[in-house]
Structure 1
Amino acid sequence: MILNNIKLENFTNYDSVQCNLDECINIFIGDNGQGKSNLLDSIYYVATENSARNNKDRDLILWGRDYFKISASFLNKFGSNNIEISYDKKKKDGKKSLFLNHYEIEKLKDYIGYFSAVFFSPEDLYIVKGDPILRRKYMDDELIQTENKYFIYINQYKKILEQRNSLLKEAYRRQNLLNSMDVWEEQLSKYGTVILKSRIDMVHHLKNMAGEIHNYLTDGEETLDVIYKSKLPISLLETGQLASFQSLYFNQLKESRMKDLEKGYTLIGPHRDDLNLMINGTSARKFGSQGQQRTAALSLKIAEVKLIKSKKGEYPILLLDDVLSELDKKRKNKLFLSLEKDIQTVITSTDLNDIDTLIREKAKIIEIKKGTLKER
Structure 2
Amino acid sequence: MFEGAEIHLPLFLDHQSTTPLAPEVRDTLFQTYEQPGNQDSLTHAFGHAARQTVQKAKRHIAALISAHADEIIFTSGATEANNLALFGLVTPPYAGKQVITTPIEHSSILSPLKEMEKQGLTVTFAAVDGQGRVSLTDLESKISGQTALVTIQSANNEIGTIQPLSRIAALCAAHGVPFHTDAVQAAATEKIDASLPGLTALSLSAHKLYGPQGIGALFIRRGTSLSPTLFGGDQQNSRRPGTLPTALIAGFGTAAKLAHQNRDHDHHSLASLAQRLRDILIQNPHVDVRFNGDPDNRLPGCLSLTFGRIEAEDLILEMPELAISTGSACLSSSGGPSHVLTAIGLSPEEAGRTVRIGLGRYVTETECAFAASIIVAAYERLLKTQ
Report TM bin, short chain.
under 0.3
Question: TM-score scaled to structure 2, two decimals?
Answer: 0.27
Higher helix share: 1
Higher strand share: 1
Question: TM-score scaled to structure 1, two decimals?
Answer: 0.28
